[in-house]
């Protein structure tokens, strides 16, 4: 069948790959090189132990203090508040304890299956060299702060029987000597792997997709041609393309195309920045999240990538790099050997629904449209699994999990 996949991030490229693997004639549409959108600049963690919902009461309680701290992990650009309000209200409602628990279970159902999909992609695309099986660390200087900040997560890890270790200072410094001796304790998420270059990972999948006869067409999709309850084609800047099936996987930009297809979704950007910092001899071996600092430092390619928390603003608002730049002295305190030089700066748009679950599955009312977007902080983790699930649905196979929590016409809170 002629399959058109809209969006060449890790999610769309994975969908295209799984479809090509089953013999479909696949065209991947993206106006920019696949893998160079939000999928370019993440921290590279295959976060298969992430089962805490994004919306939860503890975060709501902490939000005012975080907003008042100019170096904190959460920012809201006030000018954008009116347009963000519907999303924020749903987010608050999604934090109801009972609902948050259901969302945690629906997240676990995905992350718990993510590794198997990565393993297949890694084996068939020859990407094993890009993986670092180290797990990652959440470190704190203050024991009480550590206990408070990790209590919910440890409870969830225990509930889902996911492995982790608590490390005291000596063990921690032996494992990660790049850290300051001021650190006191760490949560070590031992099952997570890290991709050493997220861009190389998506490029590797694209390369194999092309080897299987799929192609990337450098153009933007802006509409569909309908034929009854199906889409017969996709309208692009390069003209109309015929399709037997269409996958919408354009990250945060899926919102406009979903509305165009007749089902508006409350998709917004949880914006996040990165800075690439010169190592200056700092030999960081694990991604490290500073609990007091509120950001992550990850070894990526030959530098250290500082990735920030969340900035809420419209996807098209200009970047404000003053925020990540202010964090560099704190990064150097955590990793004393780190150089202060900023090699590059970047802004990415985590595509997020208010309940923190992606939209994954068949579209409402359009027989041959499939959806894979809204993967929030976990798009790298869940990209290949999303591709596997879409390929299962296209083939009429049981994807092995209940997809109703990820439906495009759910309540989102």
Ligand X SMILES: Cc1cc2nc3c(=O)[nH]c(=O)nc-3n(C[C@H](O)[C@H](O)[C@H](O)COP(=O)(O)OP(=O)(O)OC[C@H]3O[C@@H](n4cnc5c(N)ncnc54)[C@H](O)[C@@H]3O)c2cc1C
CB 97 → ligand X: shortest distance, Å? 26
Output the six-digit token pair for 62: 């902490």
Distance CA 37, CA 56 (A): 28
Answer yes or no: are the C-beta atoms of 199 and 205 closer than 8 Å: no
CB 348 → ligand X: shortest distance, Å? 3
Q: 76 or 148: whose CB is closer to ligand X?
A: 76
On the CB side of 236, CA atoms within 13 Å amount to 23
Q: 141 or 377: whose CB is closer to ligand X?
A: 377
Distance CA 145, CA 167 (A): 15
Q: 13 or 150: whose CB is closer to ligand X?
A: 13
CB 302 → ligand X: shortest distance, Å? 18
CB 130 → ligand X: shortest distance, Å? 14
Q: 150 or 376: whose CB is closer to ligand X?
A: 376
Q: 256 or 399: whose CB is closer to ligand X?
A: 256
Q: 379 or 405: whose CB is closer to ligand X?
A: 379
| Residue 81, beta-bridge partner list | none
Distance CA 197, CA 333 (A): 25
CB 351 → ligand X: shortest distance, Å? 5
CB 259 → ligand X: shortest distance, Å? 12
Number of residues that this document lists for the chain: 413
CB 181 → ligand X: shortest distance, Å? 27
Footprint on this chain of ligand X (rule: CB under 6 A): 6-12, 29-32, 37-39, 41-45, 47, 220-222, 249-251, 253, 272, 274, 307, 348, 350-351, 373, 375-381
Q: 46 or 94: whose CB is closer to ligand X?
A: 46
CB 98 → ligand X: shortest distance, Å? 26
CB 375 → ligand X: shortest distance, Å? 4
Q: 303 or 375: whose CB is closer to ligand X?
A: 375
10 Å CB burial of residue 283 (0-12, 13-18, 19+) is: exposed
Q: 35 or 405: whose CB is closer to ligand X?
A: 35
* Dihedral angle sign, alpha carbons of residues 116, 118, 121, 122: negative
CB 229 → ligand X: shortest distance, Å? 23
CB 384 → ligand X: shortest distance, Å? 11
Distance CA 48, CA 291 (A): 20
Q: 50 or 141: whose CB is closer to ligand X?
A: 50
Q: 220 or 362: whose CB is closer to ligand X?
A: 220
């Amino acid at each position: 069948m002629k399959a058109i996949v809209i969006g060449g991030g890790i999610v769309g490229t994975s969908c295209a790959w799984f479809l090509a693997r089953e013999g479909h004639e696949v065209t991947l549409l993206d106006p920019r090189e696949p893998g160079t959108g939000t999928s370019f600049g993440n921290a590279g963690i295959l976060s298969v132990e992430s089962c805490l919902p994004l919306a939860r009461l503890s975060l709501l309680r902490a939000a005012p203090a975080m907003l008042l701290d100019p170096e904190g992990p959460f920012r809201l650009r006030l000018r954008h508040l009116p347009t963000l309000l519907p999303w924020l209200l749903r987010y608050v409602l999604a934090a109801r304890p009972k609902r948050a628990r259901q969302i945690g279970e629906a997240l676990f159902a995905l992350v718990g299956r993510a590794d198997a999909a990565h393993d297949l992609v890694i084996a068939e695309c020859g990407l094993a060299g890009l993986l670092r099986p180290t797990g990652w660390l959440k470190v704190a200087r203050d024991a009480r702060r550590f206990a408070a900040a990790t209590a919910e997560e440890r409870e969830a890890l225990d509930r889902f029987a996911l492995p982790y270790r608590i490390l005291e200072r000596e063990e921690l410094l032996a494992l990660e000597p790049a850290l300051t001796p001021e650190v006191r304790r760490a949560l070590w998420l031992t099952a997570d792997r890290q991709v050493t270059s997220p861009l190389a990972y998506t490029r590797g999948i694209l390369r194999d997709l092309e080897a299987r006869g799929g192609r990337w067409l450098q153009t933007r999709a802006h509409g569909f041609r309908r034929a009854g309850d199906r889409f017969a084609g996709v309208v692009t800047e390069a003209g109309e393309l015929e399709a037997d099936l269409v996958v919408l996987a354009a990250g945060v930009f899926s919102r406009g195309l979903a509305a165009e297809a007749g089902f508006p979704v409350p998709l917004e950007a949880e914006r996040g920045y990165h800075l690439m910092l010169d190592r200056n001899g700092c030999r960081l071996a694990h991604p490290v999240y500073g609990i007091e600092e509120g950001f992550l430092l990850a070894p990526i390619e030959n530098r250290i990538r500082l990735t920030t928390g969340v900035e809420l603003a419209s996807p098209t608002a200009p970047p404000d790099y003053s925020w990540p730049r202010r964090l560099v002295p704190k990064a150097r305190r955590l990793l004393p050997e780190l150089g202060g030089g900023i090699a590059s700066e970047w802004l990415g748009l985590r595509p997020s629904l208010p309940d923190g679950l992606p939209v994954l599955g068949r579209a409402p009312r359009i027989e041959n449209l499939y959806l894979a977007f809204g993967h929030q902080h976990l798009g790298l983790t869940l990209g290949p699994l999303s591709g596997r699930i879409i390929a299962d649905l296209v083939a009429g196979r049981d994807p092995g999990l209940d997809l109703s929590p990820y439906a495009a016409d759910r309540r989102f809170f």
